[in-house]
A and B are shown apart, each in its own frame.
Chain A
């Protein structure tokens, strides 16, 4: 990225323009312009398709005017479920945070176990392979029966959805630690704990983080569906509620929120992964 920008500035030095301004304009043209153009085209098509009087779905202009209250005031609270979009999203994020963090701890531990021990791999892998294909929502009734409460059930659904890619990626990462690193640690005589923290975790980190990234995406997918069923405050139930009240514009706005939050979650995990695994990639 930087090199290409630099060569371009070198190739055509614009007289009288500050290099920073040139670079800023370059990034703007290269990275911001294309998505803006595409977005404008898509919204245009949508507007054209839905602006006729008998259209089943609201046009963008309609959505904007219907939901203006919700957009400008995301943190109102009229009691009960009647809360702003900000609160709804935060309630969902809270459930995801609990479920996901539990999945991270349990998933990495189990992944290390399965990656280290052939016996554990043979015993647990078939179980994992079967359980991971169970759709998230199929877990909901049984967890409702078990927990007798909607909130822990939703958290459990998140947990059980996010844990499989974390386990599987961690175990692959641990199994793929180069023999050389093991030999180094044996010559230095690192003990088990030192080997775990100094060699295994950093060596497996790229795999672990790709599992974490898939996991966070799946959690966010599952929460919306789970909340539709359990009710209460949360973006999933907000959508269901809006559907029942035939407020299609609210649904559209909620979908945009869901998409953006999911995107941000993915970026956050990717960012942490990049920071942590900086340099870990094979040299």
Chain B
């Protein structure tokens, strides 16, 4: 385990609300190599986002540890920057200022003012947002906001980039476009990426490995699927690739056969009670 760049070791997460305890994650063990693209997939409410928040340091696990590059993670920091699901740009700052806030803080000592300025521009250029530097988030589209969110996260030069359903709120066309951009950028920079998703195609297209979580409560890692497809990947040629389709099927089978959501009334009630704190932690 120690040889991994990022390792999640025996992570357990239990929420206590009004005397009721809910075990959300159980014995999560995961090793990630440097430069690897990992997707975490599972049904909603299974604790995917909680796991990502634990890696980010935004939530502390009940037991277990997250070790990044030889150091234990116990607080959030720019070495694990997060692209949030709903972009989370600060609406009173312009596109440039949103990225600048992160860059100026992260590189306050290590870069000069001019270097930081150039670095902000470079990152915004990388996501194709150079044309809107002085626009506020309310003046740009959802896809553009998410681009800025990605630029902000990348600009912190994280050891691990954490994506929390980054394309979930976008329409299909914009989503496809942004997926390609993320692939291109990852090719270029070789980032280590962990992405939460519930989109099977997205997971297969982008990932080196897909981590499938079982249904909560007490979600565990059900299966890990290696995606052995050459890069750069192209969604159109892959559509005819039998390996691609087999991978897709395997994930679908896991989600819809092995971990099919059982909707008994009693269980459902239990689940909503269990899902409530997890949602809170995310919102």
A33 interface residue (CB < 8 Å to B): no
Inside 8 A of A130's CB, which chain B residues have their CB?
Answer: none
A176 to B70: give the CA distance in the assembly, Å: 37
Residues of B66-80 whose CB lies within 8 A of A: 75-78, 80
Check: B47 CB closer than 8 A to any chain A CB.
Answer: no
Q: Does B106 contact A (CB under 8 A)?
A: yes
Cα A183 to Cα B149 with chains together (Å): 13
Contacts of B82 in A (CB 8 A): 183, 187
Contact B76 A189 (CB under 8 A): yes
State how many angstroms separate the Cβ of A184 from the closest Cβ of chain B.
5
Q: Which residues of A contact B91 (CB under 8 A)?
A: 279-283
Is the CB–CB distance between B137 and A183 below 8 Å? Answer: no
Name the B residues within 8 Å of A194 (CB-CB). 105
**Chain A residues within 8 Å of B105, by CB:** 188-190, 194
**For B136, what are the chain A residues with a Cβ–Cβ distance below 8 Å?**
279, 283
Closest B residue to A182 by CB, please name it.
Answer: B58
Q: Nearest Cβ in chain A — how far from B22, in angstroms?
A: 19
Is B81 an interface residue, CB under 8 A from the partner?
yes
Residues of B within 8 A of A199 (CB): 90
**B84 CB within 8 Å of chain A:** yes
| Contact in complex: A184, B90 (CB < 8 Å) | yes
Contacts A280-B92, A282-B91: A187 and B137 contacting too (C-beta < 8 A)?
no
Residue of A nearest to B102 (CB): A188
Q: Known: A179-B283, A279-B138. Contact between A187 and B77, CB under 8 A?
A: yes
Tell whether, in the assembled complex, residue A186 and residue B76 are in contact, meaning their CB atoms are under 8 Å apart: yes
Across the interface, B58 reaches (CB within 8 A) one of A186, A202, A280, A281, namely: A186
Given contacts A183-B84, A187-B76, A187-B82, contact A279 B92 (CB under 8 A): yes
Given A189-B106, A283-B136, 4 further pairs, Cβ under 8 A: A188-B106, A189-B76, A202-B92, A283-B145
With both beta carbons as reference points, the residue of chain A lying nearest to B162 in the complex is identified as: A187
The answer to whether B137 touches A180 (Cβ under 8 A) is no
Q: Which positions 6-35 of chain B face chain A at CB distance < 8 Å?
A: none
B185 in the interface (beta carbon within 8 A): no
A188 touches B156 (CB 8 A): yes
Interface residue? B56 (CB, 8 A): yes
CA distance A202 to B84 in the complex (A): 20
Task: Give the complex CA separation of A202 and B101 in angstroms.
Answer: 14
Q: Which residues of B does A touch, CB under 8 Å?
A: 56-58, 75-78, 80-82, 84, 86, 88-92, 101-102, 105-106, 136-138, 145, 156, 283
Closest 3 CB pairs of A and B: A283-B138, A180-B88, A186-B76
Q: Decide yes or no whether A271 CB sits under 8 A from chain B.
A: no
**B58–A183 contact, CB under 8 A?**
yes
| A181 contacts B by Cβ under 8 Å | yes
| Residue from B56, B80, B90, B145 within 8 A of A181 (CB atoms) | B90
What is the bound-complex CA distance between A184 and B81, given in angstroms?
9
Identity of the chain B residue whose Cβ is nearest the Cβ of A191 in the assembled complex: B105
Give the residues in chain B near A188, CB-CB below 8 Å: 78, 101-102, 105-106, 156
A267 contacts B by Cβ under 8 Å: no
Which of these, B80, B89, B90, B92, contacts A187 with CB under 8 Å?
A: B80
User: Smallest distance from the beta carbon of B16 to chain A beta carbons, Å?
Assistant: 17
Nearest CB on B from A209, distance (A): 13
Question: CB-nearest residue of chain A relative to B82?
Answer: A187
12 A-B pairs with C-beta separation under 8 A: A178-B88, A179-B283, A180-B88, A187-B56, A187-B58, A187-B156, A188-B78, A188-B106, A203-B90, A279-B138, A280-B91, A283-B136
When distances are taken between beta carbons in the complex, the residues of chain A under 8 Å from B138 are 279, 281, 283
Residue of A nearest to B105 (CB): A188
With an 8 A cutoff between CB atoms, is A6 at the interface?
no
CA A183 to CA B86, docked complex, whole Å: 12
